Structure 1
Amino acid sequence: MFMAEFKLRFGDRKWYVRRIVEASSLEEAEEKAKRYAELMNRGEVEWKLSYVIEAERPLIIGDEELKKLS
């Protein structure tokens, strides 16, 4: 499982969005994430890929994550 982070811009505003990417390799995940950003750029919000990482439990805050931080 992979997670991609995108930087979004709308005028002076910018923020970050993360998406889960279904892929069998990091290279495939990066290609899919780049293509996704290209397709999302059809509107007023500009999408730019920041990075793609392999993630076991992306976007989850659970007991395991809290223990690691303690």
Structure 2
Amino acid sequence: MFMAEFKLRFGDRKWYVRRIVEASSLEEAEEKAKRYAELMNRGEVKWELSYVIEAERPLIVGDEELKKLS
């Protein structure tokens, strides 16, 4: 499982979103994430791919994650 982070821009505003990417390799996940950003750029918000990482438990904040941070 992979997670991609995207930077979104709208005028002078900027924010980040993350999406889960189903892929069998990091290269495949990066290609899918790039394609996703291209397809999302049809509106006024500009999508830019920041990075793709392999993630065992993406977007979960649980005891395990809190323990790693302490």
Please classify the TM superposition score into its range, dividing by the shorter chain length.
over 0.9
The share of aligned pairs that are identical, in percent, is 96
Q: TM-score, normalised by structure 1?
A: 0.98
CA offset at residue 32 of structure 1?
A: 0.2
Query: Which of structure 1's runs of 4+ aligned residues deviate more than 4 A?
Result: none
Unaligned runs of 5+ residues in structure 1 are: none
Aligned with 1:23: secondary structure? coil
Query: Whole-Å Cα distance in 2 between the matches of residues 14 and 69 of structure 1?
Result: 27
Aligned residues: 70
CA offset at residue 15 of structure 1?
A: 0.3
CA offset at residue 67 of structure 1?
A: 1.0
CA offset at residue 20 of structure 1?
A: 0.2
Query: Whole-Å Cα distance in 2 between the matches of residues 60 and 25 of structure 1?
Result: 21
Aligned with 2:27: secondary structure? helix
Q: How does 1:1-70 map to 2 (within 5 A)?
A: 1-70=1-70
Query: Whole-Å Cα distance in 1 between the matches of residues 25 and 68 of structure 2?
Result: 26
Query: Whole-Å Cα distance in 2 between the matches of residues 25 and 62 of structure 1?
Result: 26
Deviations 1:26-69 (A, max 9, x none): 00000000000000000000000000000000110001011111
Q: TM-score, normalised by structure 2?
A: 0.98
